Amino acid sequence: MTDTILNTDNQVNPQANGHTLPRGKKTKVKKEIPDKSRRAPKREIDGIFLLDKPSGISSALALTRVRGIYRAIKGGHTGTLDPLASGLLPICLGQAAKFSSYFFEGSKKYIATGKLGIATSTGDAEGEVIATSPVTNEIERIDEAINSFIGEITQVPPMYSAIKVNGRPLYKYARAGHDVEVPSRVVQIIYIKLLDKTQDTFTIEVYCSKGTYIRTLVEDIGNYLGCGAHVTALRRIEVDGLPKGTMHTLESIQVLADKREDFTDFTELDALLIPIDKVMAYLPCIEIPEEKAKLLTMGQRQKVDEACTFTNCNVNYESTVQIRTNGMFIGVGHLQKGVLISDRMMSDPLHANKGLYK
């Protein structure tokens, strides 16, 4: 990228390397690139980065910044957080995206603050106010309200959400002003802890199943109290199946990138990534010989025999298993009548196809 410098006087322009430029003469000066990692070539890198997403940016923008710092060719995120929300956002680099549906199925923990007396179009502070109600002593019944939502409940997701109806996200219908029937869903609220309260606010910790909308939960609590409510702050703090207490901020990895003498050295940054096989280790395992593994990675089903070994499962196990050969994770699959069928595999992990499927 360059900046054009317009010199209007016949005097030395410090940005022109000490040379005198004629009046009106334009010269192009290279602009310094502060992020050294942007000069490194893009690369294939696999792993999961646990980002502590700040409030105020979209999950998509957060992904773009992480990919840029890591110079990753491929990347995606799972478990979208609204711009208002902060906290745990798993960034899946390289082949990790293939397996995100397996390691993000666990229950989740959030901390949310709700404000009573105001309902908004989005269920949070970013939406337009659509209803107000005076708040008197409703907060005295907050424990009663919270307890009424513990267990299995039915939710209707908010219109401003990524849930798809007829292949289109609900938020696109909402922005276009189109009405659409939103299907309800059954979710599990494992517990709700009241952390703090004032006359018109409450802060709760929620442990819930995948698919739970905290905005909807806070709205429902407000409706139970008869005054409405919306979310003013939301933070995801844990996901079952992912390591706890290992989130990193955008600022911290930018510091690591900027301090390098060799901008192609990603040693410290890569050390923050969680290997794919580590997050998949919770699954029951079948270990197969390398010859079977090569054929399986090419899509050929393999009969299970005495050369195969099982951990926490057996030949009659019907759910998903992780597949390994010589201890190396190569993918996931399932068993059917004594035959191992691949469901999602690493790209040519044994180099049997010389990288054709990379």
Question: Could you read off the pLDDT of 103-151 as tens digits, one per residue?
Answer: 888 899 999 999 999 999 999 999 999 999 999 999 999 999 999 999 9
Instruction: Please give the pLDDT value at position 288.
Output: 96
**Mean pLDDT, to the nearest integer, of 47-62?**
96
What's the token pair of residue 141? Answer: 């019944």
Give Cα 37 distance to the centre of its chain: 22
- pLDDT-based confidence at 356, cuts 50/70/90? very low
Q: What residue type is 223 in one-letter code? A: N
Instruction: Please give the pLDDT value at position 166.
Output: 77
What's the token pair of residue 162? Answer: 């990524």
SS3 for 52-93 is EECCCCCHHHHHHHHHHHHCECCEEECCCCCCCCEEEEEEEE
Q: Are 147 and 253 in contact (CB under 8 A)?
A: no
State how far the Cα of 211 lies from the Cα of 304, in Å rounded to an integer: 36
Beta carbons within 10 angstroms of residue 346's beta carbon: 22
Instruction: Please give the pLDDT value at position 32.
Output: 53
Instruction: Please give the pLDDT value at position 1.
Output: 43
% residues pLDDT > 90 (the chain): 70
User: Over the stretch 237-285, which tens digit does the pLDDT of each residue have?
Assistant: 999 988 887 899 999 999 999 999 999 999 999 999 999 999 999 999 9
Instruction: Please give the pLDDT value at position 228.
Output: 97
> Is 67 a residue whose pLDDT tops 50?
yes
Q: Between the CA of residue 99 and those of 90, 290, 333, 343, 356, what are the distances in Å? A: 12, 22, 11, 10, 20
Name every residue whose Cβ is closer than 8 Å to that of residue 117 and which is 6 or more positions away in sequence. 132, 133, 134, 135, 200, 227, 228, 229
108, β-bridge pairs = 208, 239
- Domains, the chain: 2-32 (no CATH), 39-105+244-258 (3.30.2350.10), 108-239 (3.30.2350.10), 283-345 (2.30.130.10)
Name every residue whose Cβ is closer than 8 Å to that of residue 286 and which is 6 or more positions away in sequence. 304, 308, 309, 310, 311, 313, 321, 322, 323, 324, 335, 340
For the chain, strand residue ranges (E) read 2-7, 25-30, 47-53, 75-77, 86-93, 108-116, 118-120, 129-132, 151-155, 164-165, 168-169, 185-197, 201-208, 229-239, 285-287, 302-303, 309-311, 321-325, 328-336, 339-345
The model carries a pTM of 0.81
- pLDDT-based confidence at 156, cuts 50/70/90? confident
How close are the terminal C-alpha atoms of the chain, in Å? Answer: 32
What's the token pair of residue 160? Answer: 């401003």
- Kindly report the CA angle at 17 between 15 and 23, in degrees rounded to 5? 65
> Is 25 a residue whose pLDDT tops 80?
no
DSSP letter assigned to residue 222 = H
State how far the Cα of 158 lies from the Cα of 170, in Å rounded to an integer: 8
> Is 24 a residue whose pLDDT tops 70?
no
- pLDDT-based confidence at 13, cuts 50/70/90? very low
Q: What mean pLDDT is reported for the chain?
A: 87
> Is 294 a residue whose pLDDT tops 70?
yes
Q: Are 22 and 16 in contact (CB under 8 A)?
A: no
Q: Are 121 and 160 in contact (CB under 8 A)?
A: yes
Q: Between the CA of residue 61 and those of 76, 96, 138, what are the distances in Å? A: 11, 19, 39
Positions annotated as catalytic residues are 82
Q: State the Cα torsion 57-61-62-68 to the nearest 10°.
A: -150
Q: Where are the alpha helices (DSSP H) in the chain?
A: 59-70, 100-103, 142-147, 170-176, 214-225, 250-258, 267-270, 276-279, 290-297
Instruction: Please give the pLDDT value at position 16.
Output: 44
Buried b (16+ CB within 10 A) or exposed e, 138-157: bbeebeebbeebeeebebeb
Instruction: Please give the pLDDT value at position 15.
Output: 45
Instruction: Please give the pLDDT value at position 2.
Output: 41
Q: Are 78 and 94 in contact (CB under 8 A)?
A: no
Instruction: Please give the pLDDT value at position 75.
Output: 93
Q: Are 231 and 112 in contact (CB under 8 A)?
A: yes
> Is 29 a residue whose pLDDT tops 80?
no
